[in-house]
Amino acid sequence: MTAILKKELSSYFKSFTGYITAAALVMISGFLFYLRTIYYAEQSAIMAGAPPGMAPNINFNKAILASLPSTAIFIALFFVIPVMTMHIFAEEKKTGTLEMLFTYPITEMQLIAGKYLSCLAAILPGILLTGIFPFFLIKFMPGMDLGYLAAGYTGVILACMAGTAIGMWASSLSGNQIISCIASVGIFLLLWLIGGPADLMTGPFSEFLKAASFANNMENFTKGAIELPSAAYFIGIAAFFIYLTYYNLASRKWRG
């Protein structure tokens, strides 16, 4: 597994894909953070001049800190993760190197673990970097609650674990990277939007949709608390898709 891990990490650092996606992610997050902060400053000015009881009720922690991880995971799911995971197995299938790896003394699970961990290690630094902006404002915002940020980014890490597992599984489906990319974006869209219709109905099905929604579970973290059921949800999804990837790779043994 170490050999796979080292090889994958070195290929991420050698290629520009990782750097470009991380740079784009930080740039977009930074720009959105800037817009929100400006908006917050304007609203604060209005609030200061407004008669008592008429001021808009806004809070820096909820308005700005909570939005950072939400933005980060949105961009991660619909841009960074599909781009960074699409090659994982698709490329090896296309070039035939996967056949060679299966004749090395490595189990499927070691191969998957090496690839999964190296991909996470390549994705996470860029995504976590989007949380750096509030630190520039600490001096000016004495009431800033970094707990919001910590909880939110715990959710981001867990959601990235789930997302990377989904992307890796999509990449094991065929030898075509574009298909992998489209498949993972499709699954992310479904899991993101699945909670939407839940608001329109009641009953256990509605509860199920809410519980299955990526967005809802992520929201639990951005509210500033680490919710165990939501953590279990993301870890469960990661484990499920890692197993599906294993099944896909091992199926050559009985499918031929």
Partner 1 sequence: MIKAEELTKYYGQKCALDHVSFEIKKGEVVGLLGPNAAGKTTTMRILTGYFPPTSGKATVAGFDMSSDPLSARKKTGYLPESVPLYMDMTVEEFLFFAAEAKGLKGGTIKERVKKVIEECNLPEYASKQIKTLSKGYKQRTGLAQAIIASPEVLILDEPTVGMDPNQVIEIRDIIRRLSENSTIILSSHILEEIAKTCSRIIIMNRGKILATGTPEKLSEQMEKSDKIYFELKGDKDKAAGIISSEKGISSCRITEDEKADNGSFGIEAISEKSPEIRSRIIKALAEADIDIYQMKLEKMNLEQIFTEIVKKGGTEKK
Residues of this chain that interact with partner 1 (CB under 8 A) are 2-4, 6-7, 10-11, 14-15, 95-107, 252-253, 255-256
Residue among 99 and 199 whose Cβ is closer to partner 1? 99
- Shortest Å distance, C-beta 6 to partner 1: 7
Amino acid identity of 98?
Answer: L
Cβ closest to partner 1, residue 6 vs residue 223: 6
CB of 8 to partner 1, least distance (A): 10
- Give CA–CA dist 143/125, Å, rounded: 27
The CA-based dihedral angle spanning residues 215, 221, 222, 224, taken in that order and rounded to the nearest 10 degrees = 160
| Range list of β-strands (E), 81-173 | none
Q: Closest distance between partner 1 and the C-beta of residue 246, in Å?
A: 15
CA triplet 3, 86, 164: central angle to 5 degrees? 75
**Contact by Cβ (8 Å): 75, 25:** yes
Angle at 101 between CA 113 and CA 112, to 5 degrees: 15
Helices and strands per DSSP (H, E), number in the chain: 14, 0
Q: Which residue, 7 or 223, has its beta carbon nearer to partner 1?
A: 7
Which residue's CB is nearer to partner 1, number 44 or number 95?
95
Residue 181 Cβ vs partner 1, minimum distance, rounded to whole Å:
20
Distance between first and last Cα of the chain = 25
Of 17 and 67, nearer to partner 1 (C-beta) is 17
**Shortest approach of partner 1 to residue 231 CB, angstroms?**
34
